[in-house]
Amino acid sequence: MSNQVEYQEIIYQVDSPVATITMNRPAQLNAFTNRMLMEICHAVDRAEQDESVVGIVLTGAGRGFSAGMDINALDRAAGGERRASEDLSALAASPGDASIGEGYDTGFLYLLTVRKPVIAAVNGACAGLGFCFALLADIRFVEPQAKITTAFVQRGLVAEHGSSWLLPRLIGTGKALDLLWSGRKLSGEEAHAIGLAEYLSGAGDSAREAGNYIRQLAASGSPTSVMVMKRQVYRHLQTGVTDATRESIRLMNESLVRDDFKEGVRSFIERRPPNFKRIGAA
């Protein structure tokens, strides 16, 4: 798909510095089809290459974030057809950020390799693969009426797409196993209370508040620093403290000779907003 593509199952909008990707099958609570998954990947890559974009908001149209994989696709998979998760080569629109570490180019983990913040605005039903997409965002804003569930166990499935790795790191092993085993539904309030979501928004406000979060980053922070910190956090989840500290010292020394450091110091001295360079095509 080219950058001039007319998306059928998502809406892609850029209001600098925010790119918003809205999953747009509201009658199906934005359940994923193979096409929607490819369109999301294409739009994420498009936003990453756009210098006007500082961060990406992923949300859903209507009453849902995403109810997971479309039930018709699951029914076909139960009958022996390949599932979308078994053929992710079509999702390779973005090469990913290899510097983040080995393994992050696997399946939907490509979201963790995006050089810009990816924020999930969870506005309603969030289940199964939709739950995984929310986990794979860097930060989550949830609304009180959201209904969040893993839903894997009721389908005879397992913890999919990195959720067994991500979920315990967010909320701890006991809570993670409870959500995975029981498949119970969480409200937005409970998701926030247990640490699954970083921010609790008002009803209908999650996408707007997520966009404002990105606007604040763009107004005061270096996009390059944001990118490097994202790499550090995900890489260092897989390393020991000594290796992480050594790499952080090296990265700090590199930051001291960047133009962004000079601009950050000058803007502070001159009491004005900083003018940092944004990130475009690799």
| Cα–Cα distance measured from residue 47 to residue 12, given in angstroms and rounded to the nearest whole number | 9
H or E segment to which residue 38 belongs: helix 34-49
Q: Could you tell me which of 206, 207, 30, 196 has the C-alpha nearest to residue 125?
A: 30
Residue 72 pLDDT > 60, yes or no? yes
What is the mean pLDDT of the segment spanning 118-123? Answer: 97
pTM of the model: 0.86
Instruction: Give the confidence band of 224 by pLDDT, cuts at 50, 70, 90.
Output: very high
Total residue length of the chain: 282
3-state secondary structure of 7: coil
Q: How confident is the model at residue 97 (pLDDT cuts 50, 70, 90)?
A: low
pLDDT of residue 90: 43
Confidence of residue 104 (pLDDT cuts 50, 70, 90): low
CA distance 57 to 40: 11
Pairing mode of beta strands 125-127, 147-149: parallel
User: What's the average model confidence in pLDDT over 131-144?
Assistant: 96
* Cα 77-81-87 angle, rounded to 5 deg: 95
Mean pLDDT computed over every residue of the chain: 86
Q: What is the CA radius of gyration of the chain?
A: 19
Closest CA to 29 of 70, 75, 1, 57: 70
Strand, helix or coil at 26? helix
Q: What's residue 96's pLDDT?
A: 53
Q: With 90 as the cut, is the pLDDT of residue 189 above it? A: yes
User: Which of 220, 219, 188, 47 lies closest to 118 in space, CA to CA?
Assistant: 47
Q: How confident is the model at residue 155 (pLDDT cuts 50, 70, 90)?
A: confident
